[in-house]
A = this chain, B = another copy of it.
């Protein structure tokens, strides 16, 4: 059992599945938020926990539903606010899929790609390699200041691709 801010955590953090390789763990995110002057509240903890636990990207409504299982008082407004904070602090990205739907994806400094499945919202991560490094150099040479946390390529994953 782990004690954080007087809260008991029995979850084995190492066993959690992340929807994206680079999503930091709850503890690391809480620490970072705390150091940035944010308060670590129950609802925020619940939302962060839910996002990290998810095996796929979740819509704000889905995050709400799951967060309420941890803390029933969580409101939708807080889900949105927490997503904002997490984005602001560089812990996650939100990517629109189609007309509704979002994918919540990781945030990582080095340029790399995410293959986001439109249908099942899974996110496959391409590790930074010589290609993405070359692209990064190219951006730099053009004076273009890259502001994303990752570059999302939208499509259908192997499972969801009828043709493949």
A36 to chain B, nearest CB (A): 21
Taking a contact as CB atoms closer than 8 A, the residue among B139, B154, B161, B163 that contacts A153 in the complex is: B139
A128 to chain B, nearest CB (A): 12
Instruction: Kindly identify, within residues 117 to 153 of chain A, every residue whose CB is under 8 Å from any CB belonging to chain B.
Output: 118, 124, 126, 131, 134-135, 138-139, 142-148, 151, 153
If A135-B131, A138-B126, A151-B151 touch, does A161 touch B143 (CB 8 Å cutoff)? yes
- Copies of this chain, complex-wide, total 2
Contacts of A28 in B (CB 8 A): none
Contacts of A144 in B (CB 8 A): 115, 124, 153, 155-158, 161
A contact face: mostly helix, strand, loop, or mixed: mixed
A152 to chain B, nearest CB (A): 8
Q: Which single residue of chain B is at the shortest CB-CB distance from A115?
A: B144
Contacts of A156 in B (CB 8 A): 144-145, 147
A116 to chain B, nearest CB (A): 10
CB of A164 within 8 Å of the partner chain: yes
CB of A18 within 8 Å of the partner chain: no
